[in-house]
Amino acid sequence: MKLALLGVGNAGVRLVDELRGAEQRTQTPISDGNVLAFNTTPSTFAELEHIDESRQVLIGDTHPEVYQPEAVGEEGEIDKVDTESVDPREGVAGDPELGAAVAREDLPEIRRALDAVDDTEVDAAMIVAGLGGGTGCGVGSVLLEELVSIYEIPVYVLGVLPSADESDQRAWCAARAIRTFVPMADAVLGVDNEAWHTDESYNAVNKAVATRIISLFGAGEREGLPLSELRMDPNDINRTLDVGGVSTIGYAKTELSIEPDGWLQKLRGLFGGETTEPEPQTDATTIKKLVERAVDSKLTLPCDISTVDRVLLILSGPPRELSRKGFETGRSLLEDKTGTVEILAGDEPDTEATTVTATVLLSNVTGVPRIEQLQQRAVAYQTDAESTPAVTHEIDSNVEVDTEGAVEANEEADNGREADAESNPEAAETSDDSDAAVDEHGFRFTDKETVKPTELIDEAEPTTDEPPVDDSTDSSDAETPELSENEPTDDSDSTKPSEDADDSDADPNIKDPFAGGSATSDPSQ
Partner 1 sequence: MKLATIGVGNAGSKLIDRMLEFEQQTGRDLCRHVLVINTARTDLAKPKYVPKDRRVLIGDTHQKAKGHGVGGDGEVGAEVAKNDIDEIRRVFDDVEIHEVDAILVAAGLGGGTGSGAGPVVIDELQKMYDEPIYGLGVLPGEYEGGRPALNAARSLQSFVTKVDNFVAFDNDAWRSRGQTVEEGYEEMNRELATRIVTLLAAGEVDGSEVGENAMDSSDIMRTLDTGGVSSIGYASTDLKKSDGLLSKYKSKNKDEEVNSMDAAKIKGLVRRAVNSRLTIPCEVSSADRALIVFAGPSSMISRKGIESAREWLEKEADTVEVLAGDDPREDSETLAAVVLLSNVTDAPRIKEIQNQAVDAQNKIAELDAVREEEITSLITDDNNELDPIV
Q: Which is nearer to partner 1, 68 or 375 (CB)?
A: 375
* Residues 218 and 126: beta-carbon distance below 8 Å: no
Could you say whether residue 278 binds partner 1 (CB under 8 A)?
no
Distance (Å, whole) CA 375 – CA 45: 31
Nearer to partner 1, 203 or 373 (CB): 373
Nearest partner of 59 among 78, 37, 85, judged by Cα: 37
Binders in 388-447 for partner 1, by CB under 8 A: 414-415, 418, 425, 428, 436-438, 443-446
Chosen residue from 50, 222, 293, 448 binding partner 1 by CB under 8 A: 448
Site for partner 1 in 185-214 (CB under 8 A): none
The CA distance from 332 to 196, in Å, is: 29
Residue 407 is inside which H or E element, if any? helix 407-418
Q: How far is the CB of 81 from partner 1 (least distance, A)?
A: 21
Phi-psi map region of 201: left, alpha, beta (phi>0 left; psi -120 to 50 alpha): beta
d(CA 63, CA 99): 10
CB of 399 to partner 1, least distance (A): 14
| Number of neighbours of residue 68 by Cβ within 10 angstroms | 17
What angle, rounded to 10 degrees, do the helices at 369-387 and 407-418 form? 120
Q: Which of 64, 270, 352, 514 binds partner 1 (CB under 8 A)?
A: 514
Judged by CB under 8 A, which of 5, 8, 137, 356 binds partner 1?
137
Q: Beta-strand (E) ranges in 243-289?
A: 246-255
Binders in 27-86 for partner 1, by CB under 8 A: none
Spatial distance between the Cα atoms of 417 and 435, rounded to a whole number of angstroms: 24
| Interface with partner 1 (CB under 8 A), residue from 238, 281, 306, 355 | 238
Contacting range for partner 1; rule: CB under 8 A; set: 92-100, 207-215, 262-270, 395-403: 92-100
Closest approach of Cβ 143 to partner 1, in Å? 10
Closer residue to partner 1, CB minimum distance, 145 or 166: 145
Does residue 476 belong to the site contacting partner 1 (CB under 8 A)? Answer: yes
From candidates 193, 329, 357, 359, binder to partner 1 by CB under 8 A? 329
Q: Which of 195, 191, 68, 184 is nearest to 472 (CA)?
A: 184
Sole binder of partner 1 in the list 321, 356, 357, 385 (CB under 8 A): 321
Q: Please say which residue, 72 or 379, places its beta carbon nearer to partner 1.
A: 379
Q: Which of 335, 412, 474, 491 binds partner 1 (CB under 8 A)?
A: 335
Nearer to partner 1, 270 or 515 (CB): 515
- C-beta of 69 vs 516, nearer to partner 1: 516
- Residue 383 lies near partner 1 (rule: CB under 8 A): yes
Distances in Å between the Cα of 180 and the Cα atoms of 3, 9, 175, 504 are 22, 16, 9, 47
| Residue 480 in contact with partner 1, rule: CB under 8 A | yes
Which of 18, 123, 166, 400 binds partner 1 (CB under 8 A)? It is 123
CB of 155 to partner 1, least distance (A): 14
Question: Between 293 and 312, how does the x/- string for binding to partner 1 read (CB under 8 A)?
Answer: --------------x-x---
Regarding 331 and contact with partner 1 (CB under 8 A), the answer is yes
Count CA within 13 A, CB hemisphere, residue 323: 17
Q: Does 15 bind partner 1 (CB under 8 A)?
A: no
Distance, in Å, from the CA atom of 306 to the CA atom of 364, rounded to the nearest integer, reads: 11
261 binds partner 1, rule: CB under 8 A = no
Distance CA 117, CA 260 (A): 46
Q: What is the three-state SS of 183-241?
A: HHCCEEEEEEHHHHHCCCCHHHHHHHHHHHHHHHHCCCCCCCCCCCCCCCCHHHHHHHH
Report which DSSP code applies to 457: T
Query: Considering only 52-60, 179-187, 196-204, 209-217, which stretch makes contact with partner 1 by CB under 8 A?
Result: 179-187
**Residue 76, helix vs strand vs coil:** coil
